[in-house]
Structure 1
Amino acid sequence: MPLIALDTAIADTRRWLERAVIGLNLCPFAKAPHVKGQVHYAVCSGGGRAELLAALRAELLALAAADPEQRETTLLIVPDQLGDFLDFNDMLDDAEALLDELGLAGVLQIAPFHPRFQFAGTDPDDITNATNRSPWPTLHLLREASVDRAVEAFPEAEAIYETNMATLEKLGPRGWAALGVGPSARADDEPTR
Protein backbone atom coordinates (compact mmCIF):
# COMPACT_ATOMS: atom_id res chain seq x y z
CA MET A 1 0.00 0.00 0.00
CA PRO A 2 1.51 3.37 -0.96
CA LEU A 3 2.10 5.88 1.81
CA ILE A 4 -0.22 8.86 1.92
CA ALA A 5 1.46 12.27 1.89
CA LEU A 6 1.18 14.01 5.25
CA ASP A 7 -0.29 17.16 3.73
CA THR A 8 -2.92 15.08 1.89
CA ALA A 9 -4.00 13.30 5.09
CA ILE A 10 -4.25 16.64 6.92
CA ALA A 11 -6.09 18.37 4.07
CA ASP A 12 -8.60 15.51 3.84
CA THR A 13 -9.15 15.61 7.60
CA ARG A 14 -9.51 19.39 7.68
CA ARG A 15 -12.07 19.23 4.83
CA TRP A 16 -14.04 16.56 6.76
CA LEU A 17 -13.92 18.69 9.93
CA GLU A 18 -15.11 21.80 8.11
CA ARG A 19 -17.78 20.25 5.88
CA ALA A 20 -19.16 17.43 8.03
CA VAL A 21 -18.32 17.91 11.71
CA ILE A 22 -18.74 21.71 11.71
CA GLY A 23 -20.81 22.12 8.54
CA LEU A 24 -23.49 19.68 9.67
CA ASN A 25 -23.03 20.72 13.31
CA LEU A 26 -22.33 17.11 14.31
CA CYS A 27 -20.27 18.50 17.18
CA PRO A 28 -21.42 21.93 18.34
CA PHE A 29 -18.14 22.29 20.26
CA ALA A 30 -15.80 21.89 17.26
CA LYS A 31 -16.16 25.27 15.57
CA ALA A 32 -14.55 27.47 18.23
CA PRO A 33 -11.22 25.61 18.50
CA HIS A 34 -11.07 25.30 14.70
CA VAL A 35 -11.66 29.03 14.15
CA LYS A 36 -9.12 29.91 16.87
CA GLY A 37 -6.50 27.63 15.31
CA GLN A 38 -6.37 25.42 18.42
CA VAL A 39 -6.72 22.09 16.58
CA HIS A 40 -3.40 20.31 16.17
CA TYR A 41 -3.13 17.87 13.26
CA ALA A 42 -0.60 15.04 13.58
CA VAL A 43 -0.02 12.14 11.20
CA CYS A 44 1.42 8.73 11.99
CA SER A 45 2.45 7.48 8.57
CA GLY A 46 3.94 4.06 7.92
CA GLY A 47 5.15 1.67 10.54
CA GLY A 48 2.92 -0.57 12.61
CA ARG A 49 1.20 -0.73 15.96
CA ALA A 50 4.37 0.04 17.96
CA GLU A 51 5.01 3.19 15.92
CA LEU A 52 1.38 4.24 16.28
CA LEU A 53 1.46 3.81 20.05
CA ALA A 54 4.73 5.78 20.21
CA ALA A 55 3.13 8.59 18.19
CA LEU A 56 0.02 8.45 20.38
CA ARG A 57 2.20 8.64 23.51
CA ALA A 58 4.01 11.70 22.14
CA GLU A 59 0.76 13.43 21.16
CA LEU A 60 -0.95 12.70 24.50
CA LEU A 61 2.01 14.10 26.42
CA ALA A 62 2.26 17.13 24.12
CA LEU A 63 -1.45 17.92 24.49
CA ALA A 64 -1.32 17.53 28.28
CA ALA A 65 1.67 19.90 28.44
CA ALA A 66 0.35 22.48 25.95
CA ASP A 67 -1.42 25.68 26.89
CA PRO A 68 -5.12 25.10 26.02
CA GLU A 69 -5.22 28.58 24.48
CA GLN A 70 -2.65 27.36 21.95
CA ARG A 71 -3.70 23.71 21.54
CA GLU A 72 -7.17 22.70 22.63
CA THR A 73 -7.32 19.33 20.90
CA THR A 74 -5.37 16.98 18.64
CA LEU A 75 -6.39 14.87 15.66
CA LEU A 76 -3.92 11.99 15.21
CA ILE A 77 -4.46 10.74 11.66
CA VAL A 78 -3.36 7.21 10.70
CA PRO A 79 -3.67 6.97 6.90
CA ASP A 80 -1.46 3.95 6.24
CA GLN A 81 -2.66 1.33 8.72
CA LEU A 82 -5.77 0.09 10.53
CA GLY A 83 -7.94 0.25 7.41
CA ASP A 84 -9.99 -2.62 8.85
CA PHE A 85 -12.44 -1.21 11.38
CA LEU A 86 -12.24 -4.25 13.67
CA ASP A 87 -8.43 -3.94 13.84
CA PHE A 88 -8.84 -0.23 14.61
CA ASN A 89 -11.43 -1.01 17.28
CA ASP A 90 -9.11 -3.60 18.87
CA MET A 91 -6.28 -1.04 18.94
CA LEU A 92 -8.45 1.29 21.03
CA ASP A 93 -7.88 -0.98 24.05
CA ASP A 94 -4.13 -0.34 23.70
CA ALA A 95 -4.79 3.39 23.37
CA GLU A 96 -6.88 3.45 26.56
CA ALA A 97 -4.24 1.39 28.39
CA LEU A 98 -1.62 3.95 27.31
CA LEU A 99 -3.79 6.77 28.63
CA ASP A 100 -3.93 4.97 31.99
CA GLU A 101 -0.20 4.19 31.96
CA LEU A 102 0.60 7.89 31.43
CA GLY A 103 -1.69 8.88 34.31
CA LEU A 104 -3.82 10.92 31.92
CA ALA A 105 -7.14 9.09 32.32
CA GLY A 106 -9.54 11.73 33.60
CA VAL A 107 -7.36 14.47 32.10
CA LEU A 108 -7.58 13.49 28.43
CA GLN A 109 -9.85 11.18 26.47
CA ILE A 110 -9.65 9.53 23.07
CA ALA A 111 -12.55 9.56 20.61
CA PRO A 112 -12.34 7.20 17.60
CA PHE A 113 -13.18 8.05 13.98
CA HIS A 114 -12.76 5.69 11.04
CA PRO A 115 -13.83 5.54 7.36
CA ARG A 116 -15.75 2.31 8.08
CA PHE A 117 -16.94 3.16 11.58
CA GLN A 118 -19.90 1.03 12.59
CA PHE A 119 -21.95 1.32 15.75
CA ALA A 120 -22.90 -1.96 17.42
CA GLY A 121 -26.25 -3.20 16.18
CA THR A 122 -26.17 -1.27 12.89
CA ASP A 123 -25.64 -2.42 9.33
CA PRO A 124 -22.40 -1.30 7.66
CA ASP A 125 -24.32 0.92 5.21
CA ASP A 126 -26.47 2.59 7.91
CA ILE A 127 -26.04 6.32 7.28
CA THR A 128 -26.00 7.05 11.03
CA ASN A 129 -22.54 5.45 11.21
CA ALA A 130 -21.30 8.53 9.32
CA THR A 131 -21.32 10.55 12.55
CA ASN A 132 -18.01 8.82 13.36
CA ARG A 133 -16.71 8.35 9.82
CA SER A 134 -13.59 10.27 8.90
CA PRO A 135 -11.52 10.07 5.71
CA TRP A 136 -8.71 8.20 7.53
CA PRO A 137 -8.52 6.30 10.82
CA THR A 138 -8.23 9.10 13.39
CA LEU A 139 -7.82 9.38 17.13
CA HIS A 140 -9.29 12.59 18.52
CA LEU A 141 -7.49 13.58 21.72
CA LEU A 142 -9.61 15.81 23.92
CA ARG A 143 -9.15 17.55 27.24
CA GLU A 144 -11.66 16.34 29.85
CA ALA A 145 -11.91 19.91 31.20
CA SER A 146 -12.93 21.14 27.73
CA VAL A 147 -15.56 18.44 27.46
CA ASP A 148 -16.91 19.37 30.91
CA ARG A 149 -17.08 23.08 29.97
CA ALA A 150 -18.81 22.27 26.68
CA VAL A 151 -21.41 20.11 28.41
CA GLU A 152 -22.07 22.86 30.97
CA ALA A 153 -22.55 25.36 28.15
CA PHE A 154 -24.81 22.97 26.23
CA PRO A 155 -27.23 21.67 28.87
CA GLU A 156 -28.84 19.09 26.59
CA ALA A 157 -25.62 17.49 25.39
CA GLU A 158 -27.22 14.04 25.42
CA ALA A 159 -29.54 15.23 22.64
CA ILE A 160 -26.59 15.74 20.26
CA TYR A 161 -26.50 12.04 19.39
CA GLU A 162 -30.19 11.94 18.46
CA THR A 163 -29.95 15.20 16.53
CA ASN A 164 -26.98 13.83 14.58
CA MET A 165 -28.89 10.66 13.69
CA ALA A 166 -31.81 12.72 12.41
CA THR A 167 -29.48 15.03 10.44
CA LEU A 168 -27.78 12.10 8.71
CA GLU A 169 -31.02 10.26 8.00
CA LYS A 170 -32.39 13.42 6.37
CA LEU A 171 -29.13 13.94 4.43
CA GLY A 172 -28.99 10.32 3.29
CA PRO A 173 -26.11 8.50 1.58
CA ARG A 174 -26.25 10.72 -1.52
CA GLY A 175 -26.09 13.89 0.56
CA TRP A 176 -23.19 12.50 2.60
CA ALA A 177 -21.32 11.56 -0.59
CA ALA A 178 -21.97 15.04 -2.02
CA LEU A 179 -20.06 16.58 0.91
CA GLY A 180 -16.84 15.18 -0.57
CA VAL A 181 -15.37 14.28 2.81
CA GLY A 182 -13.76 10.98 1.88
CA PRO A 183 -10.05 10.37 1.33
CA SER A 184 -8.27 11.85 -1.66
CA ALA A 185 -7.43 9.36 -4.37
CA ARG A 186 -4.15 7.50 -3.99
CA ALA A 187 -1.62 7.78 -6.78
CA ASP A 188 -2.61 4.33 -8.04
CA ASP A 189 -6.36 4.97 -7.86
CA GLU A 190 -8.61 6.64 -10.36
CA PRO A 191 -9.47 10.21 -9.31
CA THR A 192 -12.71 10.39 -7.32
CA ARG A 193 -13.44 14.06 -7.94
Structure 2
Amino acid sequence: MEQQIVDSVQQWLRDVVVGLNLCPFARKPMRAGQIRFKVSDARDDESLLTDLLEELRLLDNTPVEELETTLLIVPRHLREFADFNQFLDLAEWLLERHDYSGIYQLATFHPDYQFAGTRPEDAENLTNRAPYPILHLLREASLERALKNYPDPETIPENNIRRVEGLTEEQKRQLFPYLFC
Protein backbone atom coordinates (compact mmCIF):
# COMPACT_ATOMS: atom_id res chain seq x y z
CA MET A 1 0.00 0.00 0.00
CA GLU A 2 2.76 2.46 0.95
CA GLN A 3 4.56 1.88 -2.36
CA GLN A 4 1.33 2.57 -4.28
CA ILE A 5 1.00 5.88 -2.45
CA VAL A 6 4.60 6.84 -3.25
CA ASP A 7 4.16 5.72 -6.87
CA SER A 8 1.08 7.91 -7.33
CA VAL A 9 2.86 10.94 -5.84
CA GLN A 10 5.93 10.32 -7.99
CA GLN A 11 3.72 10.12 -11.07
CA TRP A 12 2.00 13.38 -10.08
CA LEU A 13 5.38 15.03 -9.59
CA ARG A 14 6.65 13.74 -12.94
CA ASP A 15 3.50 14.38 -15.02
CA VAL A 16 2.01 17.47 -13.38
CA VAL A 17 4.66 19.40 -11.46
CA VAL A 18 7.55 18.73 -13.84
CA GLY A 19 5.54 17.79 -16.93
CA LEU A 20 3.55 21.03 -16.90
CA ASN A 21 6.57 22.92 -15.55
CA LEU A 22 4.53 24.18 -12.59
CA CYS A 23 7.74 24.29 -10.58
CA PRO A 24 10.70 25.08 -12.80
CA PHE A 25 13.04 24.02 -9.97
CA ALA A 26 11.71 20.47 -9.45
CA ARG A 27 13.25 18.74 -12.47
CA LYS A 28 16.88 18.88 -11.28
CA PRO A 29 16.43 17.29 -7.81
CA MET A 30 14.00 14.77 -9.27
CA ARG A 31 16.55 13.62 -11.87
CA ALA A 32 19.32 13.60 -9.25
CA GLY A 33 17.27 11.45 -6.86
CA GLN A 34 17.44 14.15 -4.17
CA ILE A 35 13.74 14.08 -3.26
CA ARG A 36 12.57 12.05 -0.30
CA PHE A 37 9.05 10.63 -0.44
CA LYS A 38 7.97 9.84 3.12
CA VAL A 39 4.53 8.39 3.85
CA SER A 40 3.25 9.38 7.27
CA ASP A 41 1.12 6.92 9.21
CA ALA A 42 -0.26 9.79 11.29
CA ARG A 43 -3.95 9.79 12.06
CA ASP A 44 -3.90 12.86 14.30
CA ASP A 45 -2.19 16.24 14.47
CA GLU A 46 0.25 15.30 17.22
CA SER A 47 1.60 12.30 15.31
CA LEU A 48 1.88 14.34 12.14
CA LEU A 49 3.80 17.09 13.96
CA THR A 50 6.18 14.40 15.23
CA ASP A 51 6.69 13.10 11.67
CA LEU A 52 7.20 16.64 10.38
CA LEU A 53 9.84 17.38 13.02
CA GLU A 54 11.58 14.10 12.21
CA GLU A 55 11.77 15.07 8.53
CA LEU A 56 13.08 18.55 9.38
CA ARG A 57 15.83 16.99 11.49
CA LEU A 58 16.66 14.54 8.71
CA LEU A 59 17.06 17.41 6.25
CA ASP A 60 19.17 19.22 8.83
CA ASN A 61 21.51 16.25 9.17
CA THR A 62 21.76 15.32 5.49
CA PRO A 63 23.90 17.24 3.00
CA VAL A 64 21.92 19.03 0.31
CA GLU A 65 23.88 17.10 -2.33
CA GLU A 66 22.21 13.93 -1.03
CA LEU A 67 18.79 15.28 -0.07
CA GLU A 68 17.37 18.51 -1.44
CA THR A 69 13.77 18.28 -0.31
CA THR A 70 11.14 16.08 1.32
CA LEU A 71 7.54 15.37 0.41
CA LEU A 72 5.74 14.24 3.56
CA ILE A 73 2.66 12.42 2.26
CA VAL A 74 -0.34 12.22 4.60
CA PRO A 75 -2.83 9.61 3.30
CA ARG A 76 -4.64 8.85 6.58
CA HIS A 77 -5.16 12.29 8.12
CA LEU A 78 -6.35 15.75 7.05
CA ARG A 79 -8.54 14.44 4.24
CA GLU A 80 -10.78 17.49 4.50
CA PHE A 81 -9.13 20.59 3.07
CA ALA A 82 -10.43 22.78 5.93
CA ASP A 83 -8.70 20.50 8.46
CA PHE A 84 -5.53 20.51 6.38
CA ASN A 85 -5.60 24.30 6.17
CA GLN A 86 -6.01 24.59 9.94
CA PHE A 87 -3.16 22.16 10.54
CA LEU A 88 -0.82 24.47 8.62
CA ASP A 89 -0.88 26.92 11.54
CA LEU A 90 0.46 24.13 13.76
CA ALA A 91 3.09 23.22 11.17
CA GLU A 92 4.28 26.84 10.96
CA TRP A 93 4.31 27.01 14.77
CA LEU A 94 6.53 23.90 14.80
CA LEU A 95 8.96 25.50 12.35
CA GLU A 96 9.17 28.62 14.52
CA ARG A 97 9.41 26.74 17.81
CA HIS A 98 12.38 24.69 16.60
CA ASP A 99 14.12 27.67 14.95
CA TYR A 100 13.56 26.39 11.42
CA SER A 101 11.95 29.60 10.15
CA GLY A 102 14.16 31.01 7.42
CA ILE A 103 15.88 27.63 7.02
CA TYR A 104 12.96 25.59 5.69
CA GLN A 105 9.76 26.58 3.97
CA LEU A 106 6.54 24.65 3.70
CA ALA A 107 4.73 24.24 0.39
CA THR A 108 1.38 22.48 0.54
CA PHE A 109 -0.73 20.29 -1.72
CA HIS A 110 -4.09 18.58 -1.24
CA PRO A 111 -6.62 16.77 -3.48
CA ASP A 112 -9.17 19.51 -2.70
CA TYR A 113 -6.78 22.46 -2.58
CA GLN A 114 -8.58 25.77 -2.98
CA PHE A 115 -6.98 29.18 -3.04
CA ALA A 116 -8.73 31.94 -1.13
CA GLY A 117 -11.20 33.80 -3.32
CA THR A 118 -11.65 30.94 -5.79
CA ARG A 119 -14.44 28.45 -6.39
CA PRO A 120 -13.61 24.73 -5.98
CA GLU A 121 -13.92 24.15 -9.74
CA ASP A 122 -11.58 27.01 -10.72
CA ALA A 123 -8.69 25.66 -12.80
CA GLU A 124 -6.02 27.55 -10.84
CA ASN A 125 -6.63 25.26 -7.86
CA LEU A 126 -5.19 22.41 -9.96
CA THR A 127 -1.71 23.91 -9.49
CA ASN A 128 -1.76 22.69 -5.85
CA ARG A 129 -3.90 19.57 -6.17
CA ALA A 130 -2.16 16.28 -5.51
CA PRO A 131 -3.30 12.68 -4.94
CA TYR A 132 -2.89 13.06 -1.14
CA PRO A 133 -2.30 15.83 1.37
CA ILE A 134 1.41 16.69 1.12
CA LEU A 135 3.69 18.86 3.22
CA HIS A 136 6.64 19.77 1.04
CA LEU A 137 9.74 20.83 2.96
CA LEU A 138 12.01 23.14 0.98
CA ARG A 139 15.44 24.44 1.88
CA GLU A 140 15.25 28.26 1.91
CA ALA A 141 18.87 28.63 0.73
CA SER A 142 18.26 26.39 -2.27
CA LEU A 143 15.05 28.23 -3.11
CA GLU A 144 16.78 31.62 -2.92
CA ARG A 145 19.58 30.40 -5.22
CA ALA A 146 17.10 29.02 -7.73
CA LEU A 147 14.99 32.18 -7.72
CA LYS A 148 18.06 34.37 -8.19
CA ASN A 149 18.93 32.49 -11.38
CA TYR A 150 15.41 32.38 -12.77
CA PRO A 151 14.19 35.21 -15.01
CA ASP A 152 11.00 36.86 -13.71
CA PRO A 153 10.13 34.42 -10.88
CA GLU A 154 7.08 36.53 -10.05
CA THR A 155 5.47 35.31 -13.29
CA ILE A 156 5.54 31.65 -12.21
CA PRO A 157 2.05 31.66 -10.59
CA GLU A 158 0.46 33.46 -13.58
CA ASN A 159 2.14 31.09 -16.04
CA ASN A 160 0.95 28.10 -14.01
CA ILE A 161 -2.65 29.34 -14.01
CA ARG A 162 -2.52 29.83 -17.79
CA ARG A 163 -1.11 26.30 -18.23
CA VAL A 164 -3.82 24.58 -16.21
CA GLU A 165 -6.57 26.75 -17.68
CA GLY A 166 -5.42 25.61 -21.12
CA LEU A 167 -5.85 21.92 -20.31
CA THR A 168 -8.67 20.07 -22.04
CA GLU A 169 -11.07 17.96 -19.98
CA GLU A 170 -9.34 14.83 -21.27
CA GLN A 171 -5.94 16.15 -20.22
CA LYS A 172 -7.31 16.97 -16.76
CA ARG A 173 -8.67 13.43 -16.46
CA GLN A 174 -5.29 11.99 -17.43
CA LEU A 175 -3.23 14.23 -15.17
CA PHE A 176 -5.59 14.28 -12.17
CA PRO A 177 -7.38 10.89 -12.20
CA TYR A 178 -7.90 11.03 -8.43
CA LEU A 179 -10.18 14.04 -8.90
CA PHE A 180 -12.56 12.14 -11.15
CA CYS A 181 -13.17 8.97 -9.11
Match of residue 61 from structure 1 = 57
- The alignment-based identity, stated in percent, is 43
1:134-156, CA deviations, whole angstroms, 9 ceiling, x for partnerless residues? 10000000000011011011031
| Worse-superposed segment, 35-44 or 167-176 | 167-176
What letter is aligned with 1:59?
A: E
User: Secondary structure of 2:92's partner?
Assistant: helix
Task: Provide Cα deviations, 1:96-154, integer angstroms capped at 9, x if missing partner.
Answer: 00001111100001111000000001000111100000100000000000110110110
CA distance in 2, matches of 1:63, 1:95: 16
1:72-107 superposed Cα distances (whole Å, 9 cap, x missing partner): 000000001111001000000000000011111000
1-side partners of 2:107 and 2:46: how far apart?
20
- In structure 2, list runs of 5 or more residues that go unmatched: none
Q: CA deviation at 1:48?
A: 1.2
Letter aligned with residue 9 of structure 2: T
Aligned-residue CA RMSD in angstroms? 1.5
TM-score, normalised to structure 2, is 0.96
Q: Does the aligned pair in 2 maintain the 1:112–1:132 contact within 8 Å?
A: yes
| TM-score, length of structure 1 as denominator length | 0.90
CA contact (8 A) 1:42 1:75 kept: yes
Query: After superposition, where does 1:61-80 map in structure 2 within 5 Å?
Result: 61-80=57-76
Q: More relative contact order in 1 or in 2 (CA 8 Å, sep 6+)? A: 1
Q: How many residue pairs are counted as aligned between the two chains?
A: 181
Q: Is the 8 A contact 1:75 1:139 kept in 2?
A: yes
1:139 is aligned, of 127, 135, 140, to 135
Q: For 1:171, what is the secondary structure of its paired residue? A: coil
- SS of 1:93's equivalent in the other structure is helix
2: CA distance, partners of 1:121 / 1:180: 22
Q: Does the aligned pair in 2 maintain the 1:74–1:141 contact within 8 Å?
A: yes
8 Å contact from structure 1 (residues 6, 45) kept in 2: no
- CA shift, 1:52, in A, is 0.5
Query: Does the 8 A contact of 1:75 with 1:141 survive in 2?
Result: yes
Q: Deviations over 1:146-182 (max 9, x none)?
A: 1101101103111010000000111144322222553
2:149 to 153, 156, 162: 153
Determine the structure 2 residue equivalent to 1:84: 80
Distance 1:180 1:79 in 2: 16
In structure 1, the gaps of 5 or more residues are 184-191
Contact 1:16 1:182 in 2 (8 A): no
Q: Which residue of 2 aligns with 1:179?
A: 175
Which residue in the other structure is 1:100 paired with? 96
Letter in 2 for 1:96: E
Residue 34 in 1 paired to residue 30 in 2?
yes
More helix by share: 2
